[in-house]
Chains A and B, each alone.
Chain A
Amino acid sequence: MTPEFQKDIYYHMALARAVDDRMWILNRQGRAPVVYSSNGHEAAQVGSAFALNRGEDWIVPYYRDLALVLAYGMTPREVMLHLLGKAEDPNSGGRQMPAHWGLHRRHIMTTGSVVATQDIHAAGLALASKVLKDGRVSVAYFGEGSTSQGEFHEALNFASVHKLPAIFFCENNGYAISVPARKQMAVMDVAARAAGYGMPGVIVDGNDPLKVYEVTKLARARALAGDGPTLIEAKTYRFVPHSSDDDDRVYRSREEVAEWKKRDPLITFEKYLLDNQILSSEELAAMQQKVKDAVNDATDYAEKAALPDPNTLGLYVYHH
């Protein structure tokens, strides 16, 4: 893994965090109605994205995946246009709530709000890849709460029976909004479920982008070799409430949050890069400036962009 590659991972993590912070500011100013954050999940998302053939392999994200889609080629401008519901929003033209990603150009599958439905889509995308032999791998992203849904199980089963080139990537942050994982399942690890479907289940430190990168790369190789899907469970934590409408103090102690913050992937990965002289402090400063410029540019651009024309309400119900 080259230094440039590692720096690129860091850049996208930092970019995601900065975009995220800006979205919260806009929300608290009353300019963005609602925010869903990837704050805390950046290592898992960016690390896994960098193991894929970005823009060619399919990712099927969920609402937590801001850092993932940025690493996958969505621009900060596109994210901000989406947040503010502008006509130019490429995810949905201002139709969907924020964090409902979808960008065909980059092979980011469009997503709804019902959790785990996307897992089956990943299996379906992979089914086509198997039939068409297009060399693509499809990756479903989801939280641990959604693994209670039947469609999660149906997806794993279908993909494993047909040995599809798919990866199921769980971002386990311990909470489905307020409900802790122990009320979601009677096993310790989501990864344990893989055995029931005849596929490997791998647990990885979701706050270490390089480890996430390694396991995802292995899963991808396995998928392409025709050996079937892999279930990856990245253990991580979200540092902010579920959304800008949520207050996590009622269900999480401040001590617990503070404990996890010591392992903030942005801080730990930055330290690793500096300590190992992969990144100099000058380079870091320059990168931080670049991130700031990108976020300012995106905000300005999106705020000036036009809102959708009400006359477009009836468009795209059908092909014609």
Chain B
Amino acid sequence: MAVMTYLEAIRETLRQELRRDDRMIIYGEDVGVRGGVFRVTEGLQAEFGEDRVIDSPLAEAAIVGTAIGAAINGLRPVPEIEFADFIFPAINQIVQEAARIRYRSNGDFGVPLVIRAPFGGGVHGALYHSQSVEALFAHVPGLKVVIPGTPYDAKGLLASAIQDEDPVLYFEHKAAYRSLKGEVPDERYLIPIGKADVKRQGNDLSIITYGLMVSYAQRAAETLEKEGISVEILDLRSIRPLDVEAILETAKKTGKVLVVHEDNLTGGIGGEVSALIAEHALFYLDAPIMRLAGPDVPAMPYSPPLEHAFMVTPDKIAEASRKLAKF
């Protein structure tokens, strides 16, 4: 058991999986010689060769589209999109092709494919290096969308994604890469996709969130504990499929729910989570379901005061929680 950053956990999992399965390949812009712009794939080409860790042409539709073909012809491709913000040229391949292939072929074809992409803001990345794009993909049946919030989960979820027979989008928060550290077992383990995790037990209200916001919610909860407010934190880990049972369980337990995400408010996962609770746990609610999310502006601006105004922070989470607790 070693203490690793979120980034190292991902890299070591990729290494472990490449060793385990000869069919797995990695490719994308800069992933080979350079080891990726964030160094996630550092050292992998040296170990596994240019045939398995491939610097591809700079064309996202081609990166994903060839991965689909390669998956169907027997490989387990794990392409990287350099920034989630750059995934849009590949939308047609992801949504129209990867997501629909099993369905449209009545189960004759499947696409075992993992698309890794760094996402999220708070790192001076501005409009095109800060986006949270998960809700767009979570809307699409046929895709799975996972977003780890800890180094431990990063490893277990990635191994599950690579083993999965369906296309999985694996979003990694850039601000988590080096700031989150934790114990990660050396041996391979799987965290099931679609299983949420209670990261903290509490009684007064539930924060339902995922990704970097899990650690932010934990910081907020520590502050609130000193004020006598007991917060439960549910880390969704997968946003498609959602763990409906866990969502309803925590909602029923505390009767007060705050959904937190960095992605824009409108049409975000918070809306779906809220609807599930409203449909299935109305008579347990003791307060309106609340959402704390990125504002409905096109994307996160660059200059620090603007960026900060956009970002969800531990203090903003604590403030929203206080209001809900007082209700």
Contact = CB atoms under 8 A, between A and B. Distances in A.
A126 B102 CA distance: 20
Max chain B CB contacts within 10 Å: which of A91, A114, A121, A162?
A121
B69 A161 contact: no
A131 B75 contact: yes
A157 B108 contact: no
Given A123-B65, A123-B66, A154-B62, A319 B104 contact: no
A124 B102 contact: no
Interface size band for B: 35 or more
B267 interface: no
A117 interface: yes
Given A110-B105, A125-B70, A131-B25, A157 B65 contact: no
Interface string B56-75: 11010110011111111111
Interface in A264-282: none
A124 B73 contact: yes
Given A112-B97, A112-B100, A114-B96, A128 B62 contact: no
A117 B67 contact: no
A16 B96 CA distance: 29
A58 B109 CA distance: 13
Contact of A126 (B57, B69, B74, B93): B69
A127 B108 contact: no
Contacts of B51: 130-131
A93 B153 CA distance: 38
Contacts of A136: 73
Nearest to A308: B106
Contact of A124 (B57, B65, B96, B110): B65
B73 A318 contact: no
B300 interface: no
A125 B51 CA distance: 15
B57 A154 contact: yes
B133 to A, nearest CB: 20
Contacts, number: 151
Interface size band for A: 35 or more
Interface string B85-106: 0000100110011001111111
A110 B204 CA distance: 52
A96 interface: yes
Given A110-B101, A117-B93, A151-B61, A127 B106 contact: no
Contact of B105 (A92, A130, A131): A92
Contacts of A90: 106, 108
A145 interface: no
B107 interface: yes
Interface stretch (A45-53, A97-105, A232-240, A243-251): A97-105
A317 interface: yes
B99 to A, nearest CB: 9
A319 B62 contact: no
A22 B166 CA distance: 38
A316 B103 contact: yes
Max chain B CB contacts within 10 Å: which of A120, A125, A129?
A120
Interface in A165-196: none
B165 interface: yes
Interface string B11-27: 00000000000010100
Contact of A109 (B70, B72, B106, B165): B72
A100 B109 CA distance: 14
Contact of B107 (A127, A131, A134, A315): A315
Contact of B70 (A110, A127, A161): A127
B65 A319 contact: no
Contacts of A102: 104-105, 108-109
A128 B73 contact: yes
Contacts of B294: none
Contacts of A316: 102-103, 105-107
A119 B265 CA distance: 37
Contacts of B103: 95, 316-317
A122 interface: yes
Contacts of B102: 316-319
Interface in A59-114: 60, 89-96, 100, 102-104, 109-110, 112, 114
Interface string A135-153: 0101000000000001100
B141 A127 contact: no
A190 B96 CA distance: 26
B249 to A, nearest CB: 23
Contacts of A154: 57, 59, 61-62, 65
A132 interface: yes
A155 interface: yes
B61 A112 contact: no
Contacts of B72: 109, 121, 124-125, 128
Given A110-B101, A110-B104, A317-B103, A124 B69 contact: yes
B142 interface: yes
Contacts of A125: 69-70, 72-73
A158 interface: yes
B219 interface: no
Contacts of B52: 131
Given A110-B101, A131-B75, A151 B62 contact: yes
A100 B67 CA distance: 21
A-B pairs with lowest CB-CB distance, top 4: A124-B69, A120-B65, A93-B106, A124-B66
9 contacts: A94-B106, A104-B109, A124-B66, A124-B68, A130-B51, A131-B70, A132-B74, A154-B61, A317-B142
Given A91-B105, A154-B62, 10 more contacts: A100-B104, A102-B104, A104-B109, A110-B108, A117-B93, A126-B69, A129-B73, A150-B61, A158-B59, A317-B141
